[in-house]
Structure 1
């Protein structure tokens, strides 16, 4: 197997065993123990059912593979407890509620969910599902702890790249750097006042005894929370916009904020509970409406900006800094940031299809015609795009592709750290494998030979 293929194969951490199957007749019972965790033969059956339900082709997935994966998960969870990693029952219960709601919505009823998991009743299913979620959370936190401790130096990246034979160096697809200038339709003061007055009216109604939950269901335009009465649970690390968090953490329990503005629109927040560093709140979001006239004016404005750039009166970068309404990109000259790679280059074959279609025919330095678009919240705007640079498909180059090479090198080092950790912890931990499964050709030394 080629060097780089080995690396990508290693990243499939869940593939833990090869294809030796147990030969004797299967009888349900305990097939493995790791620390205090037990694995049943029926757990493997359930894994098959779940994979099939997810559309995974299970023809070539052996019981040994799934058993090996389960042994790994149990070791992570066991060691998480030894390392005092805490997953609270409330955290599990909250997450379980969200997952069950999603399952019921998908299949139609709780009875169908219970039948799918082959459980006696709802209580039996919830008891089982609680344990599964808690173990999964312990597993993921333990994995994260191992990986987070791994760092890599420039010298290690250089050595990693040097060790790849020349004819096995990875090939990266064609890439582009894209910049944009966004002009958003302006909201009138009259419309802003209308929204603020409406939120003040709702706030007063709640203070007079109306239900905040009901008001949120009726009036909030936040698709993520309106059906649930505007409910969110958050702490200071929760990824909400700064303005929202500042207001939320300035309120006392039972207090309702005055209307305030974020990029999403105007809000009011009601704090239901404060539990240490965590708060439970409800909010109502109303976004001011944009008139057709404002949309037309935005188009005229972006056309004028484009004309100045094309005529050489201003550079695209300077125009973005002075005129773009997109805070995330304007100070960087409008250059788009690729969240997948943490850099400014986009691989053409992995770009968002909509963005790809908008830039695919542009030459380097060419300015697109005004494009009518909308963000993930449905807010309409006009934009112009340019391609700052294009790099054709190429074999990895240390100078030009340093960040990608660093990512590969770090992943390689993380995998080695996990492998070393696994070897050490298996030796320290009580592990028992049923004789029916001792014929499996495990990648890890579960049999401690």
Structure 2
């Protein structure tokens, strides 16, 4: 058995036997499910009703506002036009009302446009104010039509309602929102890689710092080369991480099945829908769902899965080499903070490039370039692949990723070789550069 294999085995066993590793392996799925259930419970709770007073001196708008549920909560509108406005303002100060919509009487509708006020102790949400503005503007617009002797019914009939049907060049019907689904699939894989790199890369770094602090490292390197020790730590920690992820998936699946069996909630329509309409709606939903399933099945599933494994391995080994080098260069985790930011920033940049660029232009220059850069390609390329990427671009990206990995390993090994025996001094970027020439 080779020395690296022995180190891998030692690191793997040390990680999986660690009490915190065992506890978090089985506790994390429970926490995730518990948090998800708690969030679901909170979202199902009825929000507090917000009482909005209306003082309408014109008498034109008060009937336009009815109590309703919105994404900001439930609003109850109360007609307070007959009550003195000073008394209403005092009630708002005492928080009997959420706010007051004050509509003064003016000479004409044009003068009214900038006279309306909403009085409250706290600033209301933008969406609420916009909905109130739309209600009043709609009413005023209809009144202006009548004043100008315009036929409002004819204007409504003349308004165009455009629905664009999507289709492919082959003649098949396409679907709306498909790009969002594709970016969600690629983003999920890319985010998983990023979280694995951050969590288990830090674990590699802490392992090196711990052995260096305890001076165990001096005994270990008397029998093995620093490069072999570094690679053994990276691979051993990654195998422990994969095992933990596998256990999380199984436990999470079992918890979801258990929750659906013992605490399942049957979702049924709250409104009474005629049976014939419900049957038609079910048929339309089934047809639409079938089309989406067909589109998803046409995605390059094999390419996505294979690329995920390849970029998962390449990205993790690339960044773990950085983490191992940082662990060797410092004496404690506090000193490592100055070196971690340059490592994390490319990962964050890759996520932002994927979200804000790939979804709009997956084959554009920016998306293509960052899917080739090794530090961002594990995330950006996985977001691009569901949209269809030429095989030659994937090949070049993978070659650059693994080529950079081998180069970084070579540089990291030089830092690692010198750093693991350095104590009591905080290294600078200049000193790290000097270590590369030893």
Bin for the TM-score computed over the shorter chain: under 0.3
Q: Per residue, is there more helix in 1 or in 2?
A: 2
Q: Per residue, is there more strand in 1 or in 2?
A: 1
Q: Which has the higher contact order (CA 8 A, sep 6+)?
A: 1
Give the TM-score normalised by structure 1: 0.20
